């Protein structure tokens, strides 16, 4: 039983990663999709910059959602236009107030 050259653990991991990457088909991104993503990145970064001084409990969660969106740009599933617009507006619009069932006047 002949064994090949002994690989270090790092080399083994790299070899497995390269083999896995070779098996996956490359996802082609169209020029239109690239332009849409660039436009969305600019809008998301602008919304983050404008929301720095905003106050309110909803601002933190809205900014966090924008940051998560920017971190996950390369994932195939992206929000549609309506969801993206809601994401941009999240740090600036307070949530609707809860209705109460109080019958007091």
Query: The pTM is what?
Result: 0.62
What are the tokens at 34?
A: 């690239």
More confident residue, 72 or 2: 72
How do residues 67-77 score in pLDDT, each as one tens digit?
A: 999 998 888 88
Polymer length of the chain:
105
Q: Averaged over 58-74, what is the pLDDT?
A: 88
Q: Are 38 and 75 in contact (CB under 8 A)?
A: no
Mean pLDDT of the chain: 82
For the chain, which residues make up each domain, given as ranges? 36-94
Q: Averaged over 11-18, what is the pLDDT?
A: 84
DSSP 100: -
pLDDT score recorded for residue 21: 67
Backbone angles phi and psi of 54, in degrees to 5: -70, 150
């Amino acid at each position: 039983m002949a064994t090949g050259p002994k690989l270090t653990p790092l080399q083994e991991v790299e070899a497995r990663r390269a083999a896995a990457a070779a098996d996956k088909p490359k996802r082609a991104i169209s020029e239109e999709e690239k332009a849409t993503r660039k436009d969305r990145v600019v809008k998301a970064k602008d919304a983050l910059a404008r929301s720095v001084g905003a106050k309110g409990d909803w601002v933190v969660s809205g900014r966090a959602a924008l940051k998560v969106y920017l971190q996950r740009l390369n994932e195939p599933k992206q929000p549609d236009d309506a969801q993206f617009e809601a994401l941009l507006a999240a740090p600036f619009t307070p949530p609707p107030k809860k209705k109460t069932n109080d019958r007091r006047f």
